[in-house]
Structure 1
Amino acid sequence: MSELKNDRFLRALARQPVDVTPVWMMRQAGRYLPEYRAIREKAGSFLDLCTNPELACEVTLQPLERFPLDAAILFSDILTIPDAMGLGLYFETGEGPKFERPIRSEADVNQLPVPDPEDSLRYVMDAVRVIRRELNGRVPLIGFSGSPWTLATYMVEGGSTKDYARVKGMMYDRPDLMHRLLEKTADSVISYLNAQVAAGAQALQIFDTWGGVLTPRDYQEFSLRYMKRIVEGLTQESEGRKVPVILFTKGGGQWLEDIAATGCDAVGLDWTTDIGEARRRVGDQVALQGNMDPSVLYASPERIRKEVEVILESFGPGEGHVFNLGHGIHQHAEPDHAAVFVEAVHELSAKYHQG
């Protein structure tokens, strides 16, 4: 593999000195970019785009051509694992992801396989390999997965949900069955992420999108427990360098200390937690990633720069900060405003890394 020319992102995750705070954006390859929309149309469907390694590579690299980002993130979807388990993923316009065969019974859970990532998920590994080749060491590549709880939510509900009726019904009525489902899902995530590392991913992020809908007790038992299991099961080193793991629970600010204690390298923050307060709570135990409200990108360039400065000032001098949005960039955000954001992070953060 080619030598890494920009390792700010990996250095920040290791809480090592950097010249400026590194920055990338969740969903940085996506619908807000006209060039992405063109490729998406050419592919025919979102799933066709995800399963074509060359096109997945092309859209992964698109934001790097526009913005001086410090990391690329694999273009894929968190629901590739349930699809490989045989649930029949499809997308309906305006309604998001759906499954033809959702998990509704004990028999459904028992017959779920743990997919071989180089078989049913080979297209993801091929995409990682192609992206690494095309990046040629420009920046590190982030691989990712959904958390077991988040994946299970989609699998049991059969798609998106606002009330979590089926998945929480199973959790409360049949905790044994829910644990069995989460165990299989966690084993699948470990296998999947380790395969991404073997294919060339240099950092990993676990998206726990729905962890924040749980009570504190249930979060510990049904979400965090399985993310900790994944962290413990992951490849620790590749190409002579540590493969850092970022855990991101949307709405998880109240559990920062517990997330930091899993053995992860960084905790992702949404915008509802003050990053300075988060740093005071977890100290130097982990790096922190985040956490500007994505809606700030609808504001003027001056306001975007001001918000970047506020967050940098809140984190303060020193190492261990990866700047990001507090969730994915919105599809209606202006690319020019995203450029202001990325450039402001680099420009305004230099003074926090002197000495």
Structure 2
Amino acid sequence: MTSRERFLAAARGLYTDCIPAAPYNGNFGAALAGIPISVYNTDGKQMADAQTLAWEKIGQDVIVAQSDNYYIAEGFGCVIEQPYDTTPNLVKPAVATLDEVEKLKVPDPYRDGRMPVYLEAISLLRERFGNEVAIRGPGTGPFSLASYLMGGTTEFLMQIAYCEADNDSVKESQLFELMDVSSDALIVFLKAQLSAGSDTAMVGDSLASLSMISPKIYEKYVFPYECKVFQSIRADVKKRDAVTILHICGDTRDILPNMAQTGADILEIDAKVTLADARILVGDKIALMGNLEPTTVLFAGTPEHVQNESLKCIRAMEGSQGGFILGSGCEVVPKSPEVNLKMMVETAHNASGNM
């Protein structure tokens, strides 16, 4: 099987010749290539070059065109600070208050913000690799994106808290409007990625972590909009023979059953949740990807440690009827040892596939 065939089959719970390996190694690729992040995330060709080099060194089944979270938000008018060799920081949101939300307009992914950078990188990677390797694009989740647009993370979460405490129907309506526009922006960007050649449509909603919100808030303000995104892109995903991914950071056990109902094909599981627990909670009808700990294992561990932890993940999925992809629990830390990533891939490729 080609890497692309292996990954797509695993995502659908079908036979694979071995376990596919898919570390989420966006900025790791930049560091490996010696390209400053401020250059990497503003130049589609250099992003594609860096990820090509990472694949040549590591041989993973999925190549990631990814860096930071503000490429859509900038299209709305958010202002960022871009350090030379670290990821950007939000300096100014698109609107300061919920009363201004009605002014927000969905940006054009081919023109606005840094979305065109990622579309160029995806297109170049597809051109270079054809159907041999799977290409994965980014996708900031609707809840996370909404926080960048209105006031920043702290202000956004405070407005939700005030709304819930005061049972404020006006504020609630404005928050729902904000979630709608952020969802619509992600939808058009994901469709553009699929057209550019991405094999995935991803929702990465880090702010929806249960370290930040409660399951009740997730069910009310996040779940319906993640469902909306996956429902809205379903036809495009099918047309392109692609798959969908949902990732939320942290311990998500209390919302994993909801996440499995969003319409995603793959749940990318953070290292804070065991794969065995995740499989029990979501059943066998959805693929799981994960979940090597990026810091203590992939960055600070030895190759032997990486091998042992990879085997633990693989064994946890033995006998499971759902698909499985060995991945990192979250983004691979830049300057993680190359030998560790190679060991992760080799361990997966030496293991029996999904049957």
Short-chain TM bin: 0.7 to 0.9
The corresponding residue for 1:269 is 269
Q: 1:15 to 1:232 in 2, by over 3 A?
A: same
What displacement does 1:156 show?
A: 3.4
Given residue 106 of structure 1, which amino acid in structure 2 is its aligned partner? L
The corresponding residue for 1:141 is 135
For 1:246, what is the secondary structure of its paired residue? strand
Confirm or deny that 1:313 pairs with 2:309: no
Distance 1:228 1:341 in 2: 32
Q: Is the 8 A contact 2:202 2:245 kept in 1?
A: yes
For 2:90, what is the secondary structure of its paired residue? strand
Alignment of 1:232-311 (within 5 A): 232-237=231-236, 242-251=241-250, 252-294=252-294, 295-297=296-298, 298-311=300-313
Confirm or deny that 1:193 pairs with 2:190: yes
Distance 1:309 1:134 in 2: 32
The corresponding residue for 1:161 is none
What displacement does 1:277 show?
A: 2.1
For 1:210, what is the secondary structure of its paired residue? helix
Q: 1:106 to 1:304 in 2, by over 3 A?
A: closer
Q: 1:194 to 1:20 in 2, by over 3 A?
A: same
Distance 1:71 1:296 in 2: 20
For 2:136, what is the secondary structure of its paired residue? strand
Q: Is the 8 A contact 2:67 2:87 kept in 1?
A: no
Q: 1:237 to 1:114 in 2, by over 3 A?
A: closer
The corresponding residue for 1:55 is 46
Q: 1:303 to 1:99 in 2, by over 3 A?
A: same
For 2:66, what is the secondary structure of its paired residue? coil
1:112 corresponds to which of 104, 110, 120: 104
Q: Deviations over 1:307-345 (max 9, x none)?
A: 111111111135500111111112242111221122112
What displacement does 1:107 show?
A: 4.6
Q: Is the 8 A contact 1:32 1:333 kept in 2?
A: no
TM-score with structure 2 setting the length: 0.87
Q: 1:239 to 1:276 in 2, by over 3 A?
A: closer
1:168 corresponds to which of 154, 157, 172: 157
What displacement does 1:275 show?
A: 0.8
Given residue 299 of structure 1, which amino acid in structure 2 is its aligned partner? G
For 1:145, what is the secondary structure of its paired residue? coil
Identify unmatched segments of 5+ residues in structure 2.
Answer: 163-170
The corresponding residue for 1:16 is 14
For 1:245, what is the secondary structure of its paired residue? strand
Given residue 65 of structure 1, which amino acid in structure 2 is its aligned partner? E
Confirm or deny that 1:333 pairs with 2:325: no
Q: 1:34 to 1:215 in 2, by over 3 A?
A: closer
Q: Percent of counterpart pairs with the same letter?
A: 21
Distance 1:353 1:101 in 2: 45
Distance 2:148 2:203 in 1: 16
Distance 1:263 1:325 in 2: 22
The corresponding residue for 1:100 is 92
Please say which of residues 101-110 and 15-24 is displaced more in the overlay. Answer: 101-110
Q: Deviations over 1:117-168 (max 9, x none)?
A: 122233332222222101232201112211111112233354xxxxx53111
The corresponding residue for 1:223 is 222
Confirm or deny that 1:39 pairs with 2:28: no
Distance 1:50 1:165 in 2: 25
Distance 1:226 1:277 in 2: 25
Q: 1:4 to 1:233 in 2, by over 3 A?
A: farther
Identify unmatched segments of 5+ residues in structure 1.
Answer: 159-163
Confirm or deny that 1:90 pairs with 2:88: no
The corresponding residue for 2:168 is none
For 2:291, what is the secondary structure of its paired residue? coil
What displacement does 1:31 show?
A: 4.1
What displacement does 1:284 show?
A: 1.8
Q: 1:165 to 1:287 in 2, by over 3 A?
A: same
For 1:144, what is the secondary structure of its paired residue? coil
Q: Is the 8 A contact 1:18 1:353 kept in 2?
A: yes
